[in-house]
């Protein structure tokens, strides 16, 4: 059975951390349960919030560090697909050339 992780938006993460700060009377476990997330997840977000001056860094879709990294990944995929197509054509030429 595969486990699929849920992606939360940056705003949700910030709201979760703020919710925890606004409700100091409840435990982290209760807070996480109220939000429908894991305790360790909430703790990680709180640590990121503290370590990044009140912000939670997100890498965005595809987990790329920058637009350049995303473009490089796209170009690598395109190159791999092109090389695969070329290999298929070479095999077809080899098969048809034997006649």
Structure confidence at residue 80 (pLDDT): 95
Tokens of 69: 């990294």
| Residue 17: CB atoms within 10 Å | 20
Tokens read off for 64: 């790329």
Residue 77 in contact with residue 55, Cβ under 8 Å?
Answer: no
DSSP letter at 5 equals P
Distance CA 23, CA 82 (A): 55
As given in the structure block, the two tokens for residue 17 are: 């951390």
pTM (global) more than 0.85:
no
**What's the pLDDT tens digit per position in 18-48?**
999 998 898 999 999 999 999 999 999 999 8
Beta strands in 1-99 (DSSP E): none
Residue 78: band (very low, low, confident or very high) from pLDDT cuts 50, 70, 90: very high
Least confident of 42-51, 61-70, 76-85, 90-99: 61-70
């Amino acid at each position: 059975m595969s486990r699929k992780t849920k992606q939360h938006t940056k705003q949700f993460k910030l709201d979760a951390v703020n919710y925890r700060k606004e409700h100091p009377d409840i435990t982290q476990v209760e807070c996480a349960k109220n939000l429908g997330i894991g305790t360790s997840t909430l703790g990680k977000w709180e640590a990121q919030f503290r370590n990044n001056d009140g912000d939670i860094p997100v890498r965005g879709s595809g987990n790329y560090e920058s637009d350049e990294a995303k473009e490089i990944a796209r170009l690598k995929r395109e190159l791999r697909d092109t090389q695969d197509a070329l290999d298929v054509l070479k095999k077809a030429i080899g098969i048809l050339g034997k006649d």
